[in-house]
Amino acid sequence: MNDQKLVVVAQLAVNDEFAVPFAKAIDELATASRVETGCQAYDVYCANDAVSKFLIYEVWATKADWLAHRHTSHMEQFKLAARSMQASTTVEKFTLQDAMREQ
């Protein structure tokens, strides 16, 4: 299971007064993450109806790559910034279904 591609979707939200600094922090995280081993995509989206809601779409070559990402200095910095801005976060992880891989 550790050698399968992993897709991670994170939804984050902050109060409107934190939207601009949070957007800067999330952009810095994305820039640093895109050059990590195993990172195949790290895209950041902002909600059409709220500048304080974000979605991160990540694709990692393996779960191990994603786990290593979670312990990088830029991820730790982002977590501190997110906490200081009282961000709410929902993270979901996905792997390709066996039936889909056989096609």
CATH number of the domain that 13 lies in? 3.30.70.100
Rounded to the nearest 5 degrees, what angle is found at the Cα of 31, between the Cα atoms of 27 and 18?
A: 15
Tell me the average pLDDT across 16-34: 97
Poorest-confidence range of 7-11, 19-23, 99-103?
A: 99-103
Q: Annotate the chain with DSSP letters as a single string.
A: -TTS-EEEEEEEE--GGGHHHHHHHHHHHHHHHTTSTTEEEEEEEEETTEEEEEEEEEEESSHHHHHHHTTSHHHHHHHHHHHHTT-EEEEEEE---HHHHT-
Mean pLDDT to the nearest integer, 82-98: 91
Is residue 24 scored above 80 in pLDDT? yes
Torsion-angle region of 10 (φ positive above 0: left; ψ -120 to 50: alpha; else: beta): beta
Residue 59 counted as domain residue: yes
* Residues spanned by the domain of 31: 6-96
How many domains in the chain? 1
Report if residue 102 sits inside a domain.
no
- Residue 1 belongs to a domain: no
26-83, pLDDT tens digit by residue?
999 999 999 999 999 999 999 999 999 999 999 999 999 999 999 999 999 999 999 9
Q: Is residue 34 part of a domain?
A: yes
For the chain, how many residues are written? Answer: 103
Per-residue pLDDT for 101 more than 60?
Answer: no
- Provide the pLDDT for residue 68: 97
